[in-house]
Structures are given as C-alpha cells and as structure tokens.
Structure 1
Amino acid sequence: MNADRTKYLNRRALMGAAAASLGLAAVPALAQDNSTEMDAPSTGPVHNNTSSFRMLDWRPYFSDTRNGAILVDTTSRALHFWSEDQSIYKLYPTSVPLTEDLTRRGRTEVVQKVVGPTWRPTPAMKERNPEWPDFVPAGPENPLGTHALYLSWTYYRIHGTHDTRKIGRRSSNGCVGLYNEHIAVLFGLTKVGTQVLLV
C-alpha cells in the first residue's frame, strides 16, 4: 500500500472514530441542520439547556404522514418533521413550556402560517405579568420571532425566537420555540393541515 493511501485511510479512521465518540455515526447529512401568543420574555428562572438528538421513526406516532407530520417531544426538547412523501426529515432543538400546567399534549394541526407575527399576551399571562405590553408588533422585540405556525389549540404556536438562550430549555409560556433559521425552514415545509403531536 503506498504512503498516500495509508495517510488517507488513517485520516478516515480518525474522523470515523471522532464522529462515533460524538454519537454522530448514524446521523445522516439531512439531520445535521439540527442544529406566541404564548411566549414572552421569561420573568422566572430558565432551566437547564438540554436537548436529546435522537432520530425517530414516524410510525409509532402517526398512522400516516398525510400533509406532513410534526412530533414535539417535550422531554427531549426536540421537534421532528417528516414530509408527506417521507423524503425530508428534520430534527430541531426547541424551547418547551416552563411548567407542567402550561404544557399541553396531544394531537392538533397547523391552522395558519404567519410571516412576521404580532404578539398579544393571553389573559392568564397578563394576570401573572401585568407589566407586559398589551401588543408587540413584528420585529426584533417580538417573542414569536420571524415566523409562526398557529395550531388548532387556542393560543398555542410553533414559532421562532430572537432570544436564542431559550432553545433547549423549559422557558416558554406554553408554545414551542425554534431558532429563527429553523422555523423559517419548517415554515416552508409545512402547510395548513400538517399534523402535529406533542408528547
């Protein structure tokens, strides 16, 4: 074996070992961009930033992927998306609700898509935080970030955030938050009628 071939194999073995030690060996390239009305700046403690990036199969959660499917795992703080034809799979870190009483689980769907959403606190949020504004227009101060997917549940959204410290944490008032660059991609892949399951 010549010296160049040996150097190439050694480098390849080293890269493979490094990827395996990081738990990346089984993650395909398409998953590597893993990288609300309900949300407003948190006034309480922000809990640990931990997300578990484990690829999942859609079949245990959905009977089909008609209109696409979104699974939000509030324990691992991750959002999974499968396109209708299953050719696209996305896995993103999320923020999730601060407490169990703010957490809603079950099946819903995307009922509206909004670029540059505005934000109004819910009555319960205003009661807890009377100092919050009644309305925040679209822009860098808006808690919904650049894009929002409105769900069939009143006040619940999957949306972006300008406060990137929230991602991977229990930090929302009920919604699911994503980095703005991730919600922009998800926004383009979803449609009104996309299935959503929160577990």
Structure 2
Amino acid sequence: MSDSKSGQINRRLFLGAAAATLATPAIAQESIHEGTTELERDVSQNVRHNISSFRTLEWQDYFDNLRNGAILVDITSRALHYWNADESVYRLYPTSVPATEDLTRRGRTSVIRLVEGPEWRPTPAMRERNPEWPEYVGPGPDNPLGTHALYLGWTYYRIHGTHDTRKIGRRSSNGCIGLYNEHIAELFGLAEVGTQVLLI
C-alpha cells in the first residue's frame, strides 16, 4: 500500500474515531472523581452519571392504563419516560433530579398546568437555605425553570426545562425534575392536563 493511500486511511480512521467520540453522549464520556460526593463537586466539573438503567421500559409495569398519557420519572437512572394515550408515541429523556434524598418526592400525581415561559419564585425552604436568592425571576434566560414547565399536583413540584445544561444527568435540583429545553418543549407538546405522573 502506498504511503499516500495509508495516510488517507489513517486520516479517515482518526476522523471517524473523533466523530464517534463527539457523538458519544456526554454522560458516557465523563470521568469519575474519587472520594467526593456529587454535592461536593462544582457543577462545571465532570461527573460520571448513572446510565446503567437508562433504557426503554414498558408502561404496563407502572400504570394500569394510558388515559391522558403517562410520565414515569426514574430518580435512580435520572430518566423520564413518556407514553401517549394510544401508545403511538414513546419518549425517553435524560433529567436532573433532586440533589438530596430529603428533597426527593416519590409516588403518583398528575400534570395540573402547562406553562410556556414560566415565572419562578423560590419556595420558603429555598429562601431559608439561600437567602441571597431573588424573590422572583420572570421568563427568560435567567429563569431556572427554562422555557416550559409542567406543574404537578404536588405544591412546588414541576417538570421543567433548564438553561444550565450542565445539570442534566445530575443530582442537582431542589426537588423538581429538569430536562433540556428542547426536550421539555417536546414533552410540553405531548403532555396535557391530567397526564399521569409517577416518580420512582
């Protein structure tokens, strides 16, 4: 084989490997930091995420029916599953989940309101923990709820977007479930008031 042909093949192999690396989800590329918990790490540092359970699931294992559609949030795998009422649509999204167990709520509820361009007010407990936080943030790039929010039947709990994409795949929220803005926009278009929600 000529040097020029060998050089072309090596270049192709290099470019192919580089493209595969870039295409690999960030959650699979990140390294683990020994001896610290996720809460101790700055959100900008790399964290190895739990992707072992990030797989498709069957709705029948969690719901009796798909009336109004169904959303399953798996806190352990940090994944949100959505099925529409006639089973023609299934979506699987990576999420952020509550930072600590005491902020985590599990069980059944439903979507009670859908808001595009949500406003944000920290809860009394958040203000107590973080008195420097503003009392109100309007819609826009500084809003921690991102571009869309699904309000749940539990007070203060939401499934919402985030402008800080570093949070997805992490234990990083104050109780809510966060999605990439493009994913919450899609889910916003699929879900409805009355969509069943189960957090496990």
Matches within 5 A, 1:48-59: 48-51=48-51, 52-59=53-60
Spell out, residue by residue over 1:97-134, the C-alpha distance to the aligned partner (whole angstroms, 9 max, x if none). 00000000000000000000010000000000000000
Q: Residues of 2 paired with 1:137 and 1:48: CA distance?
A: 33
Partner of 1:15: none
| Cα distance in structure 2, aligned partners of 1:141 and 1:129 | 17
Closer/same/farther in 2, CA of residues 48 and 170 from structure 1, 3 Å limit: farther
Q: Take 2:48 and 2:120, find their aligned partners in 1: how far apart are those partners?
A: 26
The CA RMSD measured in Å over matched residues stands at 1.3
Across the two proteins, how many residue pairs are aligned to each other?
A: 157
CA contact (8 A) 1:69 1:196 kept: yes
CA distance in 2, matches of 1:117, 1:105: 24
* Higher relative contact order (Cα pairs below 8 Å, separated by 6+ residues): 1
Structure 2: runs of 5+ lacking an equivalent: 1-38
CA-CA distance at 1:171 after TM superposition: 0.2
Cross-structure match for 1:192 = 193
How far apart are the structure 2 equivalents of 1:83 and 1:99? 30
CA deviation after TM superposition for structure 1 residue 44, in Å: 6.1
Partner of 2:80: 79
Counterparts of 1:124 and 1:190, CA distance in 2: 29
Paired-residue identity, %: 74
2: CA distance between counterparts of 1:138 and 1:62? 34
**Cα deviation 1:165-190 (Å, max 9, x = unaligned):** 00000000000000000000000000
Alignment partners' CA distance in 2, 1:164 and 1:175: 15
8 Å CA contact 2:50, 2:76 repeated in 1 = no
Residue 23 of structure 1: aligned partner: none
Q: Distance in 1 between matches of 2:135 and 2:72?
A: 31
Q: Secondary structure at the match of 1:59?
A: helix
Work out the CA distance in 2 between the residues paired with 1:44 and 1:173: 15
Q: What's the CA shift for 1:49?
A: 3.4
Q: Provide the residue aligned with 2:137 in structure 1.
A: 136
| Mapped partners of 1:87, 1:166: distance in 2 | 30
Q: Distance in 2 between matches of 1:94 and 1:163?
A: 12
**What is residue 65 of structure 1 aligned with on the other side?**
66
Output aligned runs, 1:81-160, within 5 Å: 81-160=82-161
> Normalised by the size of structure 1, how large is the TM-score?
0.76
Secondary structure of 2:59 counterpart: coil
Contact 2:148 2:161 in 1 (8 A): yes
Structure 1's consecutive aligned runs of 4 or more residues displaced over 3 angstroms after TM superposition are 43-52
Structure number with higher helix proportion = 2
Is 1:161–2:140 an aligned residue pair? no
Residue by residue over 1:37-59, the C-alpha shift from the partner in whole angstroms, topping out at 9 and shown as x without a partner, is xxxxxx96446433442000000
SS at match of 1:140: coil
Q: Do 1:48 and 1:170's aligned partners in 2 also have CA atoms closer than 8 Å?
A: no
